[in-house]
Amino acid sequence: MEVEECILSDQVRANGHTMSVTLSSGGQLQWGDRRLDMEKQVLGFSVEGLKIKIRSAVEAPAGICCSSGKSSLIRKTFTLELQSNSSVHIWSQKMQDYLDSLARPKRLFIFVNPFGGKKSASKIFVNDVKPLLDDANVEYTVQGSK
């Protein structure tokens, strides 16, 4: 297993406790007992004052919503409160640089077939797809097919 270089480290407040947070060159964001893979789990983030709100898709805890044995993903927001505006700026810049390096789409044109999905495609888009796109800061245009 390759050891990843820590490119950023700081003290944050999360869940009422002060702890260290690190970002590795391989995109591992870690604080306390939590670790997120920037490529696979982090959808996006927003900044509110000294707080960075990380929007992610993580495995649901055991016993929630699945009986088939397959793990399912849930959307979850983690809030890290940094100690200064300069720290917030540095962290948000490094995180955005990493997300930009993944070449994820920035804009999408989406066709929704109103007759698809047992005629519930529009509802599926609004309830399931739209929140993910919003969390990932993806701009989109939706057009219903005819």
Predicted pLDDT at 133 = 95
**Which tens digits make up the pLDDT trace of 17-53?**
999 999 999 999 999 999 999 999 999 999 999 999 9
Tokens 């959307």 belong to residue: 75
Distances, alpha carbon 68 to alpha carbons 72, 79, 124, in Å: 10, 31, 22
Predicted pLDDT at 126 = 93
Could you give the CA distance from residue 104 to residue 132 in angstroms, rounded to a whole number?
Answer: 13
Could you give the CA distance from residue 6 to residue 31 in angstroms, rounded to a whole number?
Answer: 13
Predicted pLDDT at 127 = 93
Beta-carbon contacts of residue 29 (< 8 Å; ≥ 6 apart): 21, 22, 23, 35, 36, 37, 38, 42, 54, 95
Domain covering 6-62+71-102: architecture: Roll (2.30)
**Which tens digits make up the pLDDT trace of 110-121?**
999 988 778 888
Q: Start-end ranges of CATH 2.30.29.30 in the chain?
A: 6-62+71-102
